[in-house]
Amino acid sequence: MKGFVVLLITVAFFDASTGEPSPEIIPVEGGLSGDGITTRYWDCCKPSCGWADLVNNTRFKTPVHTCAIDGIEIIDPQQQSGCADVGAAYTCSNQQPFVVNSTLAYGFSAVSFTGGEDYHMCCSCMLLNFQGQLSGKKMLVQITNTGSPLAVNQFDIELPGGGVGIYPHGCMKQWNASETGWGDTFGGVHSDAECSELPAVLQPGCHFRFQFMEGVSNPPVTFQQVQCPRELVAITGCEY
Ligand SMILES: *[C@@H]1O[C@H](CO)[C@@H](O)[C@H](O)[C@H]1NC(C)=O
Ligand SMILES: *[C@@H]1O[C@H](CO)[C@@H](O)[C@H](O)[C@H]1NC(C)=O
Ligand SMILES: *[C@@H]1O[C@H](CO)[C@@H](O)[C@H](O)[C@H]1NC(C)=O
């Protein structure tokens, strides 16, 4: 009986013409949509949708998981960010992008829709439709972070080795990275080969930029709000 159920699910989620996995993507009626810009980062800090005290002011019921220094153990959402002097909460290493099929990936992103800090869409999901050189490829991201440097409709995609940005201390403390992180402070490593500078657990998400994203830097997007796939909710523990 169990085998029968698995077979049904498998058939339902494959594209008949390409033979590749093809999960159903469900738009949110009346949801957000528009044109956006992208940047990238991996600063190892606690993502700001991980703050417990936001829960009563936002739609999500539980904050985004944050991890101990090993990047694996999920810790108390009251714990301060590892990017602060006394903090010990870091980005969980599994909050990195992964490929679903040759034209679709899942991942996580910081975002602002208003310019600056913008918590109201924490844990919602957006389908990013890459434009320009990457057109034809899409990335479905769950929003885990926001912050004051962000512009309106700016998606700062979580890509290991994508640059530590304005918070260099997290990766120094968590992974002994240099003061500038890996590669440039803004933008990160320059090639697929340089991904070997990262800890092994973060290398797949670094390769993702040079493989699935073909090394295209900061592609523009159109975006549309969609229901979050359960795979992403399972990783962050946060449901919009
Ligand atoms: C990947 O999955 C998406 C969503 O189901 C689907 O639209 C797309 O056609 C798939 N890509 C391929 C190459 O099968
Ligand atoms: C959220 O609200 C509930 C009910 O009012 C309260 O018990 C809880 O302490 C609040 N949580 C935070 C983190 O403020
Ligand atoms: C970072 O360096 C310290 C001191 O040399 C060492 O104890 C620790 O294991 C290193 N951590 C990692 C993740 O490499």
Domain holding 218, by residue range, is: 13-236
3 found inside a domain: no
Is 1 among the domain residues? no
Considering the domain boundaries, does residue 6 fall inside one? no
Shortest-distance Cα residue to atom 11 of ligand 1: 103
Residue nearest to atom 12 of ligand 2 (CA): 53
Check pLDDT > 80 for residue 1: no
pLDDT at 151 over 90: yes
Which pLDDT value is given to residue 42?
98
Instruction: Specify if 86 maps to a domain.
Output: yes
Q: Does position 53 have pLDDT exceeding 80, yes or no?
A: no
pLDDT computed for residue 57 by the predictor: 64
**7 lies in some domain:** no
Taking only the tens place, the pLDDT of each residue in 62-100 is: 899 999 999 999 999 999 999 998 999 999 999 999 999
Annotated active-site residue in 43, 53, 118, 184: 43
- Give pTM, 2 decimals: 0.91
Note whether residue 78 is domain-resident. yes
Q: Is residue 66 part of a domain?
A: yes
- State the ligand closest to the CA atom of 76: 2
192 is catalytic: no
**Count of domains in the chain?**
1
CATH of the domain at 110: 2.40.40.10
Ligand 1 mean position to 93 CA, how many Å? 26
Q: Give me ligand 2 centre to Cα 56, in Å.
A: 6
Cβ–ligand 1 contact at 73 (below 6 Å): no
Given pLDDT bands bounded at 50, 70 and 90, which one contains residue 54?
confident
Show the ligand 2 pocket: residues with CB < 6 angstroms.
Answer: 52-53, 55-56
Is the per-residue pLDDT at 6 higher than 50?
no
In a domain, 209, yes or no: yes
Residue nearest to atom 10 of ligand 1 (CA): 22
Q: Is the pLDDT of residue 9 over 50?
A: no
Rounded CA gap, 237 and 36, in Å?
26
Residue whose tokens read 């991201």: 141
